[in-house]
Structure 1
């Protein structure tokens, strides 16, 4: 059984690092914050940041991966996660524990199974204190065996779900384990993946990939519906996000009034996040979405589907002609006029209503 805290404990002196949106959307982060009262809460991950801001909890958001973030911290720290299944949550902790340089072991609070994993001889006092405060069970665990050079194994997949490398969908899982390899900077599917050639092409255009160090995941990026925020100033700048939705927050931090997003999944991610800020999106898609997140758009948003060709090419053409400081409404109207006959408007929220065509 959990107990009320009467004074400082190892957990209250620790930093709580939360990974993924599910821990916020399911209420785990809020419950743990109330029980543990950690010294600080840090957020790792793009969609986790979105969910954290919606939750209203006092957090500090970062662009770092959990392993890098935990490795950079001094003093006590623990990882909070809610995997899509208990097994995938355990696998995730094993991967993070194997990549956390500069820190001996890892304490992981896995909410999907109410388990506190003590990886690789981590902080036992912290794990026991967290167990006393939460009622979760402490399990000692060890891992993981490094993969061969140039090979990456993604475990805990569900058949049919999207597989990502560095934020780009490269295919769908056909087994619970996906094996990828990189050769001369290009990623190849070894097993367990129905590859998406267009996705691999996009990944290749982004630069050489070291698959052993890349950010890889499977599944949706957030299950919860997007929230709505107040509209922002209708004047620039306008930012371009090209098949790289995880770069969005860097653009939001410079005070953009709108986003030109290129790609189906990128547009869905940008729309989902930007709806919280009341920032409109002009999305260019070609109909190959992988349903990785529930789309939602702020008033003023427009999404167009390319009638002939690919979103990459038309998006690049629009971006090349973009006047970043143009008033949003004027730029959207001018762009739609220039694209007449080449696109089909599938979302049009310029009137502020949920108009989907």
Structure 2
């Protein structure tokens, strides 16, 4: 392939087409048993080369697209690679179970923890069932139940965040969506055990914050975290969701933005081109980061954890006092 052709292809949309083509070839090879390595290997190298070229000039909106890339690892993909003895607990003891927010005790790289997981789903049917990771009130009430159990058993909490926001349905509002989110935030603030939260894809609005009040908040390189999605902000400000790229720039929602603003403690690197291209490598990087922060927080007592967590969130934000006029 010529250098000119490479330059023409070096944009996210063309790259996404190549990645879909690669996925089709790999699926065909797996299904038929045919040896397509002579075609797949050069395509993999081409994709890596184009990702390297794009990495230095990728926009905030393009980061958002990477966070939504087909095949990006879900919370359960990471659990399968990093955890053992996971026992999913169901129900909120009030209304029912919510498959968009799941959790239970597990061993994170050998360490006993309580998991809180926002699970988007892996295929179309699963994504619809889980509402693409957007929880109803029972999901947040289930999270509170798991936090109570974690405190009782002395289990550190690991929360993996991946949602565009809480589910906006009428039934969810009728069952107290806002109240359930507030209760989850309040309960997490009062935890007496360490809590490490990691944004692994999308972190939208109160739906993400409900399980994001940790002693440490981490984010993967191509994830985003914001008070609102770019499309939502564009619809409010410009009455046009097509203005989402402009909204993304204004929101400063990327990992590097959040680190600079002090919203997160660490940006977790991803494999070249994104976590969806090498899930095992992405899991290794995530596992190491979360375990390191759990080690550090394990040195603190319950009172120290409460004070540190409260101080962390009170310190967020910036303001400037204006001069009086008149």
Q: Normalized per residue, which structure has more strand?
A: 1
Relative CO higher for 1 or 2, CA cutoff 8 Å, sep ≥ 6?
2
Fold equivalence (TM over 0.5) = no
State TM-score, norm by structure 1: 0.25
Q: Normalized per residue, which structure has more helix?
A: 2
